[in-house]
Structure 1
């Protein structure tokens, strides 16, 4: 059975927050813990990448 990853951009008074929801994971605690750690790393890389972007950067980005 597959899983679904949902990315949401949520705006508030302090800026825009990225909310990542990964559903359909195995119910085992260890599997959830492993994925949580992985997504934390992905979001940190995305944050670092976007903070380096400039106003004249292309609208399309690619993370490698």
Structure 2
């Protein structure tokens, strides 16, 4: 589904986003990439937290 939505951002945020875009990249693609990056960052953070706080056991295969 292709829906066009408007998101209000401050001028400096718009400028920062614009500078992050690669040639030919849409803002939608940029935001999708940013979401994926954040998901991966959170996963790594969660894994590190679990490794530091949980007692892990090896499961023989």
Structure with more strand by fraction: 1
Which structure would you say has the larger RCO, counting Cα contacts within 8 Å and 6 or more residues apart?
A: 1
Larger Rg: 2
* TM-score for both structures, normalised by structure 1: 0.41
Structure with more helix by fraction: 2
